[in-house]
Structure formats: structure tokens, C-alpha cells
Amino acid sequence: MNNNSGFLAWVMDPKRRGPMLIAPAIIVLLLINIVPLMWSFGLSFFKYRANTLKPPKFSWFYNYEKVVQKEGIWEALQTTAIIVAGSVGVQMVLGFLLALLFAKKFPLRRILLMFVLTPMMLSNVAVAIYFKLFYEPEFGLLSQFVQSFTGEMYVLLATPAGALIGVIVADAWQWTPFVMLLVLAGLVSVPKHLYEAAEIDRMSWWRTFTTITFPYVRSLLLLAVLFRTIETFKIFDLVFILTNGGPGTATETIGVLVYRTAFQFFRTSSSAAMGYILLFAVIVLTSLYLYVIKQRESEEM
């Protein structure tokens, strides 16, 4: 009993209370995040396939060399970059325009806003299946619409360009509301008296936008670009379900390539090396954006 109360008293000591309270979270983080990360990093320096009984064999940078020399990864990075540029670009433009629309008050605004926000709340799998059906040549709405003019079925996903457009449209449809929401948060925070002052000064719409509205939403817009670039760079489920990386390898993103290498080819250590290259690319992108944001902040100061 004394021992117990002694232990409790030791644990509840105000000096230790803080560390003890966060300890479970740290342990969970270590176990499910840091340890596997280190494990897979270590594995990327071995030759190992998870579907064989052969033990891992240390191979220095063999996997990194092999992965970098393969054409597949550069093609996949290029495809990913096209999808990121296309999708994030569309999201920014449409998200900004929608935010400008919803910043104003009009009848049924709240209900309409709810509908516009719905896509980002859906699961990626549901969105992918929806668009797969939407693009389907036999009964898909897109094909039916085109067929009513041309008399021929329209097969959007049949060409590399069409398939890329199909993926970009689906991704942009789902995530434009997210960008809109962030920008909207910035727009509603602009002090009203600035607009009143601009009105008194008879400033043009464009000047009001560039000198009052945009500076208030710029940092949030950059944040949206950052989030969406990182997320789109990792895109997997939408592409895998919608096009399976096809036609051929035209929409095979780096995420799909890593999955195939790991779980279809069972080149476990090669896929680990690819995963770290992907992680490195995301870290570079993140640092770049953070640097830009800091530069802007320092300019504003």
C-alpha cells in the first residue's frame, strides 16, 4: 500500500506530471511512426523481397542507384508533376472565384455552400468510382452528352492526355472546396472599414482587390497551395481506381509506382528507396513553400 501510494505520489509530482501526461502519445508516435520509418529506411539499404525466405542482404546504395537509373520513376515523377500543376492550378483559380462569390451575402447562400463543400467530405474511393462511372463510354453521363451531338461514344480515358485530364478534373472537383474554405476564411476577416474607406476614395474594383482583399488572403492562399501540392503529390487511390495508371503508364504517379513495386512486384527494399525519394521530394517542396512564406512575411514587416 505504501509502495503504491509512493509510486502514485512519484507519478503525480508536479515536476513529472507534464512529461507523464504526454508520454503515452510519444510512445504511440514512436511505435507506429518513427520505428517503422527507421525500419524502412534501414531496409532501403538491403536487397530484400518480402515474399521470399531469403534473408536481407546489405547492399549500400544499390536500391537508390537502381531506382534512379530506371526510366519508370522519372516518368512517374513527370506524370505526378503534371497532375499536381494542373489540379492545384485549377483548384486555386476556381477556389478563389468561389470564395469571392460566397463572401457576398445572397439568398440560399448557406444551403448552396453546404452543397459546394460536399465533395471534400467524400472519401477518395467514392469520388474515384463516381468519376469512373461518369467517364464510362457506354452509359457515362459525359459520353451520353457528347454522343447526343456526335452520335459516337466518347471515351475520355482512351488517350494519355484524356486520362490525365480525367484525373485532374476529378481531383480538382474534390478539393476546390477546400481551397475555397481557406480563402473564404481570409476574405471574411478583412475589416469592413477598409472597404468603406476604399468606397469613399472611389477606388476601382481591381485596385480594391489588389491592395485590400488579396494581401489579406495571400498567406492563406499560399497555405492552400502548400497543402494541396503535398497531398496531390502523394495521389494514389483516385488514380488507381479511375485509370489504374493507364492507358499504359500514362497516369502512373509516383504513389502508384511505389505501391506496385512494394505490393505487386514485392521488391520491398526498392520500394522503400522509392518511398524515401518521394519523402525527400515532399520535404523539398514543403521547405520551398515555407521559405516563400517567410520571405513574404519579412517583406511585409
Partner 1 sequence: MGGKMLNLAKKTFLAFLASIVLSIGVSKAVQSKTVEIIMAAPDWPPTRFMQEYFNSNFPQSGDTEIKLTLDFIPWDTFYTNVAASLTSGEEKYSMIVSDSQWLGAFIEGGYFQKLNKYIDADPELQAIFDDMHQGYKEGYTTYPYKSENYYGFPQFPDNYVNFYRTDIFCNPDENAAFRAKYGKKLPCTYADWEVTVWDDIFDINEFLTRKKGEMMAGKPLEDDMFGVTYQAGKAYDFSSMQINGFFWQYGGDIWREDQQPNAQAVGVVNSDINVEALTKYLDLLATMHPSHKTGGMGIFEMQALYLEGKIASMINWVGLGAPVVDPSLSKVYDITGYARQPGTMQADGTISRWANLGGQPFVMTTWMTDEEIDASFKIIKWWLSFDTQIAAVKAGGQSCMKSIIYSDGYNALAPWNAAYVASMDWQKDVWHIPEFFELLTQQQEEFDKAITGQQDAKTTLDNIAEFQQELLEEVGRIE
Closest to partner 1 by CB, 194 or 241: 241
Considering only residues 34 to 63 of the shown chain, the ones binding partner 1 according to CB under 8 A are 50-53
In the complex, minimum distance from the CB of residue 80 to partner 1, in angstroms, rounded to a whole number: 17
* Residues found in the chain: 301
Residue 78 interacts with partner 1 (CB under 8 A)? no
Do the strands 46-47 and 57-58 form a parallel or antiparallel pair, or are they unpaired? antiparallel
In the complex, minimum distance from the CB of residue 42 to partner 1, in angstroms, rounded to a whole number: 18
- Non-local CB neighbours of 108 within 8 Å, separated by 6+ positions: none
SS3 55: coil
Considering only residues 139 to 198 of the shown chain, the ones binding partner 1 according to CB under 8 A are 151, 153, 155, 157-160
Closest to partner 1 by CB, 171 or 252: 252
Query: Which range binds partner 1 by CB under 8 A, 86-94, 104-112, 238-246, 274-282?
Result: 238-246
In the complex, minimum distance from the CB of residue 279 to partner 1, in angstroms, rounded to a whole number: 22
In the complex, minimum distance from the CB of residue 146 to partner 1, in angstroms, rounded to a whole number: 13
Q: Are 228 and 55 in contact (CB under 8 A)?
A: no
Residue 69 interacts with partner 1 (CB under 8 A)? no
Closest to partner 1 by CB, 244 or 287: 244
- Could you tell me where the DSSP H helices lie in 13-70? 14-29, 35-43, 62-69
Cell of 79: 506524370
Cα gap 149→136, rounded to integer Å: 17
Residue 94 interacts with partner 1 (CB under 8 A)? no
Residue 275 interacts with partner 1 (CB under 8 A)? no
Cell of 39: 525500419
Task: List the Cα angle 58/63/64 in 5-degree steps.
Answer: 125
Cell of 132: 469512373
Residue in 74, 115, 265, 291 binding partner 1, rule: CB under 8 A: 265
Q: Are 242 and 132 in contact (CB under 8 A)?
A: yes
What residue ranges bind partner 1 (CB under 8 A)? 50-53, 135, 137-138, 151, 153, 155, 157-160, 243-250, 252, 260, 263-267
